[in-house]
Amino acid sequence: MAMQATRRLASLSLQRRLLLPSQTEAPSIPTAAAAAFLHSHATSFGYRQIREEDKSKLVGNVFSSVASSYDLMNDLMSVGLHRLCKDRLISKLNPFPAMKHLDVAGGTGDVAFRVLERIKSVSHRAMQGTLTETEEDTHIYVCDINPNMLNVGKKRAAERGYSEEHCLSWIQGDAEALSFEDGSMDGYTIAFGIRNVTHIEKALSEAYRVLKRGGRFLCLELSHVDVPVFKEIYDVYSFSVIPTIGELVAGDRQSYQYLVESIRRFPNQEKFAQMIQEAGFQRVEYENLVGGVVAIHSGLKL
């Protein structure tokens, strides 16, 4: 009996040594690359986990690659629906003459042109075609981190006869660290751009900072479908059709694969609304379009 007890104790001791290494044993030393990753916060790039400091460059590469075909691809991918969604965004913004408005991640000018056209339409109806002082005070700022996207927008602006000196400015800048003064804007829009920033909460905080009291925040973004059967169809279309269109039209499958994946990683409507509230905005609400494929979130700085 004593011999059996001794063997059991020896066996348990061996198991402990196998499961719990001695405190005196030196821990394994990670490689330099692993150590650098451990000391860096991780974020997502589509479905990949990457270092935060790498995301801006990778996203920049995507939009540099797709800049020249960006609007054409939007038309093809959405069958033109992105135009109606942007029209709805402007309708909710309700622009007015003398407005100071900031459109972030809007390099191609699609949203900015709509804002200007709505303001000119309002002024025309009010003054029967005469240019008013308040219209001259209108200024729309287009801020985008990618110079290639801005170049596309400037070219389109010239084709439309918009004078940069008069009412439209193109600014290369980061949504997470805007160069505009506190309380300087009447409105802030960001369309199909906020899911690409590294820290969404920083972009929201900056939006709140630059808006005046009473200023409106509006975000148009691809979101989460809430109808089960439609969701299955949308998933097949997203992961099979969109990258293929990107490859055939833009010669870039990889960038459009990232864009599809980035949509799935973006917070759902309720979670994003909560983030907007946490940034300080009040009267936060959202409107689903096309069954949740797209959502417009809004909030007021009061």
Q: Which residues are annotated as a binding site for S-adenosyl-L-methionine?
A: 108, 144, 174-175
And the tokens for 177?
Answer: 């660290």
CA pair distance 78, 69, nearest whole angstrom: 14
CA pair distance 139, 100, nearest whole angstrom: 5
And the tokens for 195?
Answer: 């899911």
Structural contact between residues 279 and 208, judged by C-beta atoms closer than 8 angstroms: yes
CA pair distance 184, 188, nearest whole angstrom: 10
Structural contact between residues 294 and 224, judged by C-beta atoms closer than 8 angstroms: no
CA pair distance 196, 74, nearest whole angstrom: 16
Tokens 């270092």 locate to 51
CA pair distance 40, 58, nearest whole angstrom: 16
Q: Comparing C-alpha atoms, which of 43, 40, 82 is closest to residue 59? A: 43
CA pair distance 217, 284, nearest whole angstrom: 9
CA pair distance 206, 179, nearest whole angstrom: 10
Tokens 């979670």 locate to 271
- The pair phi, psi for residue 124, each rounded to 5°, is -65, -45
Extract the annotated binding site. 108, 144, 174-175
Structural contact between residues 300 and 215, judged by C-beta atoms closer than 8 angstroms: yes
